[in-house]
Structure 1
Amino acid sequence: MRWGILGAANFAMTQMGPAIHAAKGAELVALATSDPAKATGFSDFAPGLRVHDSYDALLADPDVDAVYVPLPNHLHVEWSVKALQAGKHVLCEKPIALHADEIDRVIAARDASGLLAAEAFMIVHHPQFARARDLLQGGTIGQLRHVEVVFTYNNPDRANIRNRPETGGGGLPDIGVYAFGAARFVTGAEPVAITHARIDYENGVDVFAQVAADFGDFTYGAVVSTRMQSAQAVRFHGDTGIITLTCPFNAGWADQAELVLDLGDNTRTVERWPAVNHYVLQVEAFGRAAAGGEAYGCLLEFSRGTQTMMDMVFAKGGRG
């Protein structure tokens, strides 16, 4: 699969570009940027890269099969739809939309084109999440009672795109997607109600959120912030055991991926994945699915469910 990237985002240069380059069955062949100097970092690991001076020019490139979209959040829907209409498979950064109903446009374009379109929710491709899901749904920790998530980092730079309201910035769109989607993926359940949502704002973007939710058979609590010391963990608390993912979201970068299983008989088992790159696994899974070899692990319908929970949280806590 021949990939093109819309925009020379730093994350694309440091993470997803190298992942595409390293993935089996994938090749990074094109980049769209109006500033040729920004292409240098990409050409360092992909020396044959074609550089287009506009997004439309890349979409018109007949030698590009799939497009990765790392543009600012408010542009995700527009350019995902344009790419599908241009005959390209689409992997778009999260959040793929800022409201759940906006994802319907992408789903409709996907269905009309017969191509694959997905949100780049890479964590579901990491084996720690498949393992947690199998253990939980297999009854290893008994009846699930509560899910607890924390995901924080400190980014006070107002010039940073994540802190700009006009581009869809904010902590919940940036990392709340992971806090909500991780719980939904592992449990297979959906929230019945948001019972509490405290959201603090600075400069028109959310910078702290404390969320409680009712999932029917279990409760949920999360803290998401872009103004706190970096931390991340997910805990699934059952009546006979606890599953803890110690580095669920930035595995291999913030820390080593570990799953800790504590059972009621005072036994503890620790599983580790020190060398897994979930970005590479995501690209490889996308390629296999686009070729018809297997079902993709994170469909747009799943992403819509996560955004629906996000919309529920904002409705409860207010949008600033």
Structure 2
Amino acid sequence: MPVNKDARCLRVGILGCGPISQFAHLESAQKGRNVVLQAVCDADVDLARRFGSFYDAISIYNDFDRMLADPEIEAIVIGISDAFHVPAAIKALSAGKHVLCEKPIAMSVEEAEELKAHVERTGLVLQIGHMLRFDPGIQAAHEFATGEMGALLALKAWYCDSTHRYTMTDAVQPVPRTGAKALKPVGDQKADRQRYFMLAHGSHLVDLARYLAGPIKSVQARLLERFGAHCWFVDTEFENGALGHLDLTLP
């Protein structure tokens, strides 16, 4: 049954038709009552045509600059390889487009600071795709922690990327399609497992800690690698004076 769209919808262009866009962004744009999928863009012609057509994109592009030149597009969703996030976001901001970018937002502190400067200079909105804070359970915890509970003493949070997760996602998610001409960063982005795990999974844990307890003032972390697993215990101090213990475990 077709979705009844609002009279005023945000017109978005999605950069990247790979797995993350197939799992999340394309369908969300199609189902959202206040958004129109104005365009998709992917370097792989077949991939862009396949998913642009399936999700009723008004325009289909294979060149990011051409999509950014589309005056109908108000915001860009960035769903491409992590190493390309900052360059693509800066391009979009410079073209006058708001941005929703997949996490991790950057590969280094320096990159993040460069992007922050562009956001401040343009006055546009940039949001990181940390979807976990919109989970109903997390929303309820945030409402309680920032309202009914009162002053915060401490926060304990545990994030475990369970091996059972992939059995479930394989059952409920569609098989992702990959293009023959996908743009890939130079080198193996997953070669440094510690760095990759902290960026890919740790970013979720840190974002939730900040969402529930506020900005973090200091961090002290320990890592144990055993049985093929990575386990970080992270002691934090929040700006409001509360203490925190964050446990990131990856089987």
TM-score, normalized by the shorter chain, greater than 0.5: yes
Q: Determine the structure 2 residue equivalent to 1:75.
A: 84
Instruction: Describe the superposition over 1:24-59 as per-residue Cα deviations: whole angstroms up to 9, x where unpaired.
Output: 22111211122222131342132x432111111111
Indicate if the aligned counterparts of 1:179 and 1:224 stay in contact, CA closer than 8 A.
no
Indicate if the aligned counterparts of 1:7 and 1:55 stay in contact, CA closer than 8 A.
no
Q: What is the CA–CA distance in structure 2 between the aligned matches of 1:199 and 1:28, rounded to whole Å?
A: 44
Q: Check if 1:6 corresponds to 2:2.
A: no
1:1-320 pair list within 5 angstroms: 1-39=10-48, 40-46=50-56, 48-138=57-147, 140=149, 144-154=153-163, 164-165=188-189, 170-198=196-224, 208-215=230-237, 217-225=242-250, 228=251
Q: CA RMSD in A?
A: 2.9
Q: 1:51 to 1:195 in 2, by over 3 A?
A: closer
User: For 2:38, what is the secondary structure of its paired residue?
Assistant: strand
Matched residue pairs, number? 215
Instruction: Describe the superposition over 1:266-299 as per-residue Cα deviations: whole angstroms up to 9, x where unpaired.
Output: xxxxxxxxxxxxxxxxxxxxxxxxxxxxxxxxxx
Indicate if the aligned counterparts of 1:69 and 1:91 stay in contact, CA closer than 8 A.
yes
User: For 1:212, what is the secondary structure of its paired residue?
Assistant: strand
User: For 1:136, what is the secondary structure of its paired residue?
Assistant: helix
Q: 1:61 to 1:211 in 2, by over 3 A?
A: same
Indicate if the aligned counterparts of 2:205 and 2:246 stay in contact, CA closer than 8 A.
no
Q: What is the CA–CA distance in structure 1 between the aligned matches of 2:134 and 2:74, rounded to whole Å?
A: 22
Runs of 4+ residues deviating >4 angstroms: 166-169
Instruction: Describe the superposition over 1:161-213 as per-residue Cα deviations: whole angstroms up to 9, x where unpaired.
Output: 8x93279972221121111111121112415231423368x9xxxx7242221
Q: Which runs of 5+ in 2 are unaligned?
A: 1-9, 167-183
Indicate if the aligned counterparts of 2:74 and 2:97 stay in contact, CA closer than 8 A.
yes
Q: Determine the structure 1 residue equivalent to 2:175.
A: none
Higher RCO (CA < 8 A, seq sep 6+): 1
Instruction: Describe the superposition over 1:106-144 as per-residue Cα deviations: whole angstroms up to 9, x where unpaired.
Output: 222222222211211222334432321232244649864
Q: Read off the aligned partner of 1:180 and give its amino acid letter.
A: V
TM-score, normalised via structure 2 length:
0.74
User: For 2:55, what is the secondary structure of its paired residue?
Assistant: coil
Q: Which runs of 5+ in 1 are unaligned?
A: 156-160, 229-320
Indicate if the aligned counterparts of 1:13 and 1:42 stay in contact, CA closer than 8 A.
no
Q: 1:190 to 1:17 in 2, by over 3 A?
A: same
User: For 2:160, what is the secondary structure of its paired residue?
Assistant: strand
